[in-house]
Amino acid sequence: MKRVVQILLVLLLVFSAASCGEKLYTPGSYEGAAPGIHGKDVIVEVTVDEKEIKEIRILQNEETPGLSDAAFERIPKAIIDGQTLAVDTVAGATYTSKAIIAAVTEALAAAGADIAALSEGKAEADVVTAATENLEADVVVIGAGGAGLSAAVSAHQNGATVIILEKMPQVGGNTIISGAAYNAVDPERQEPLGIEDSIEKHFTQTYEGGDKLGEPVLIRTLVENALPTLHWMESLGMEFRDEVFTVLGGLWPRAHKPVKPLGTGYIETLMAYIEDNKDRILLLTDTRATDLYKRDGRVIAVQATGPDSTILAQGKKAVIIATGGFGNDVEKREKYNEIWPSLKNIKSTNHPGATGDGLALAEMVGADLIGLEQIQLLPMGDPNTGSLAGNIEQGVENRIFVNKDGKRFVDEGARRDVMTNALFEQEDSFMWIVLDSNNYPTMDTKNNFNETIGELVEQGRAYMADSLEELAGKIDVDPENLKAAVAEFNQAVETGGPDRFGRTLFDKKIDTPPYYAGARTPTVHHTMGGIKINESAQVIDTEGKVIPGLYAAGETTGGIHGANRLGGNALPDIHVFGRIAGANAAAE
Ligand code: ADP
């Protein structure tokens, strides 16, 4: 018995000696790299012998001095002390911590380590992340729609490092789902089509179309910079079609249409630039700005809630608010609406993030908010969703609207508020857009929302018929009324109007079958009021003074569109002022 125990003990000793001698690494020094906070690699050198991680040296880092120091001190030490990769990240420097761990992991993998064994318990370690993450850049942009991304690109082009905070999991905001029409006086595209236009006309139509409530100096900035900013977008790779058109409520054929569907062209173009320059532009999605901080009267930082930490993003030069409008915030609509019947049950064209967060942020630091009662509705919502998708109109000139009786009721080339008000007066606030195959030469022809007329008909979202009579039957309106409405319209096309509604925008008759109809109702589209800015996109306080270090651009601002925004003026607005805000913020 004693012998057996002795033999077992010897065997045990032999085994444990063998496991002590197990080779964990191939001895030597190994490099590893992983992107840090600004996208630039953190490079480490890890020295190992057969059994231990001996030394970790940081060969290269461009992390934020001061804020990242603790991570460089603690993470390598924690890895060596514990001989593990399952170490906690350092509060306030999560990104740098993760970069160091990832770089060391890469080096150890090259040394032949069992990474899974070394990382055991890592998931738990990741959960215990920082209470507050400190980040820093020259310019912090809140919101990654058209205005915010333009601001970020322009700030970078002017030499700044940038942090963009976006609360949604994806970028694009309302911009990416918009109809995307961009108004600019553009002789190169308009003259070949025989369209007369001028900056002065664009100014006057914008000013008067907004009931003279817009700030003339902001409108001038908009109309004068619309074309240069369109060229700037083109210089970044954006493509527009050669033809211009009149967009709903645009009053004049100066709307440019991107080659790519909806607003995807703008966002993809700006994002491609940001991707190419990610060493100096940090984009954080799922990160909602909640507070602004001021020091000595100057806005210096943004607090935000990220996916796994609170973030304090310091803007050494400036902060730019580009959070969009509040069209999807029913409470705010109810609070500010003075003009429309209750908007509580009206749907919206907006993305879910359009909740006006920028207003509260700006108010926190004393900004003046103006024109919040100016809420734009369109007569163009899908009756089920409020979305613009499914809209069959191609341009203003070649379609009419009829109510449930099959009768026209408004100048279909009028201002958006005029058309929507008229629609509210119709039975069930409901109308049909009626047009013919001049707009859709084939079933594969697409509307402005990347949908073919064939699929809309198939899905029951549009109706098609070979005669007006048959169409009337399908949409359940009086056939005589519908025929009379079209006949009257066709007559006005011949004379050029104005017709009895005052309509002057005509092109082709509605006379080529098949005919199409699509249903539409009022929908909340754009909030024209917001943060008061000057022509440099600086935010103005309630005493009329500039708030140092704070800029705003896009739908979150007020003072440009007055009581009614012209169709096609939002895209130049957000990009013109985004670009100005970015350049000026970088120059602070
Ligand atoms: P604009 O046309 O003015 O650029 P968009 O609606 O296209 O407006 O974009 C605004 C963006 O701002 C959206 O992507 C939205 O999710 C984002 N946003 C709104 N509120 C916040 C917030 N509190 N923090 C970060 N991003 C926000």
Token pair of 166 as six digits: 């976006």
Sign of the CA dihedral with 26 first, then 30, 35, and 36 last = positive
End-to-end CA distance of the chain: give it in Å, rounded: 87
- Alpha-carbon gap, residue 47 to 164, rounded angstroms: 37
pLDDT for 14: 40
For the beta carbon of residue 473, count every other beta carbon within 10 angstroms: 14
- Return the ligand 1 atom nearest residue 165 CA: 25
Token pair of 391 as six digits: 């809209």
For the cut 70, the answer to whether the pLDDT of residue 544 exceeds it is: yes
Closest C-alpha residue for ligand 1 atom 14: 173
Confidence of residue 22 (pLDDT cuts 50, 70, 90): confident
Distance 556 CA to ligand 1 centre (A): 8
Which residue among 280, 333, 415, 416 is the active-site one?
Answer: 416
- Alpha-carbon gap, residue 193 to 200, rounded angstroms: 20
pLDDT for 409: 98
- Return the ligand 1 atom nearest residue 150 CA: 4
Residue 173 CB–ligand 1 contact under 6 Å: yes
For the cut 70, the answer to whether the pLDDT of residue 172 exceeds it is: yes
- pLDDT-wise least confident of 12-21, 223-232, 259-268, 415-424: 12-21
Residue 247 CB–ligand 1 contact under 6 Å: no
pLDDT for 66: 55
Select from 317, 316, 318, 287 the least CA-distant residue to 303: 287
Residue 165 CB–ligand 1 contact under 6 Å: yes
Token pair of 423 as six digits: 């629609």
- Exposed, middle or buried: residue 310 (CB in 10 Å: 0-12, 13-18, 19+)? middle
Residue 142 CB–ligand 1 contact under 6 Å: yes
pLDDT for 504: 95
* pTM summary value: 0.79
Find residue 277's DSSP bridge partners.
none
Distance 176 CA to ligand 1 centre (A): 11
pLDDT for 120: 85
335: Cα separation from own chain's centroid: 25
For the cut 70, the answer to whether the pLDDT of residue 292 exceeds it is: yes
pLDDT for 38: 63
Confidence of residue 65 (pLDDT cuts 50, 70, 90): low
Distance 354 CA to ligand 1 centre (A): 7
Find residue 60's DSSP bridge partners.
43
- Return the ligand 1 atom nearest residue 578 CA: 4
Q: Which whole number is the average pLDDT over 87-108?
A: 87
Longest distance between any two alpha carbons in the chain, whole Å: 120
One-letter identity of residue 160: A
Q: Which whole number is the average pLDDT over 318-337?
A: 97
pLDDT for 507: 95
Residue 285 CB–ligand 1 contact under 6 Å: no
Distance 436 CA to ligand 1 centre (A): 38
The pair phi, psi for residue 20, each rounded to 5°, is -60, -35
Indicate the average pLDDT of the chain: 92
For the cut 90, the answer to whether the pLDDT of residue 89 exceeds it is: no
Please indicate whether residue 416 is annotated as part of the active site: yes
Pocket test for ligand 1, best of 154, 166, 528 (most atoms within 8 A of CB): 166
Distance 554 CA to ligand 1 centre (A): 9
pLDDT for 67: 61
Confidence of residue 543 (pLDDT cuts 50, 70, 90): very high
Instruction: Give residue-wise pLDDT tens across range 24-36.
Output: 999 999 999 998 7
Residue 554 CB–ligand 1 contact under 6 Å: yes
pLDDT for 1: 46
Distance 96 CA to ligand 1 centre (A): 27
Closest C-alpha residue for ligand 1 atom 19: 323
- Return the ligand 1 atom nearest residue 353 CA: 16
Residue 168 CB–ligand 1 contact under 6 Å: yes
Closest C-alpha residue for ligand 1 atom 17: 143
Distance 144 CA to ligand 1 centre (A): 6
Residue 313 CB–ligand 1 contact under 6 Å: no
pLDDT for 136: 95
pLDDT for 70: 77
For the beta carbon of residue 510, count every other beta carbon within 10 angstroms: 23
Instruction: Give residue-wise pLDDT tens across range 101-142.
Output: 999 999 999 999 999 999 887 544 443 344 678 999 999 999
Higher pLDDT, 89 or 82: 82
- Return the ligand 1 atom nearest residue 175 CA: 7
pLDDT for 501: 97
Closest C-alpha residue for ligand 1 atom 9: 145
For the cut 90, the answer to whether the pLDDT of residue 259 exceeds it is: yes
pLDDT for 307: 87
Q: Which whole number is the average pLDDT over 495-509?
A: 95
pLDDT for 528: 97
Instruction: Give residue-wise pLDDT tens across range 367-385.
Output: 999 999 999 999 999 999 9
User: Is the separation of the CB atoms in 309 and 129 below 8 Å?
Assistant: yes
Q: Which whole number is the average pLDDT over 542-559?
A: 98
- Return the ligand 1 atom nearest residue 168 CA: 16
Instruction: Give residue-wise pLDDT tens across range 200-252.
Output: 999 999 999 999 999 999 999 999 999 999 999 999 999 999 999 999 999 99
Distance 88 CA to ligand 1 centre (A): 33
Beta strands in 117-254 (DSSP E): 132-142, 162-165, 182-183, 240-245
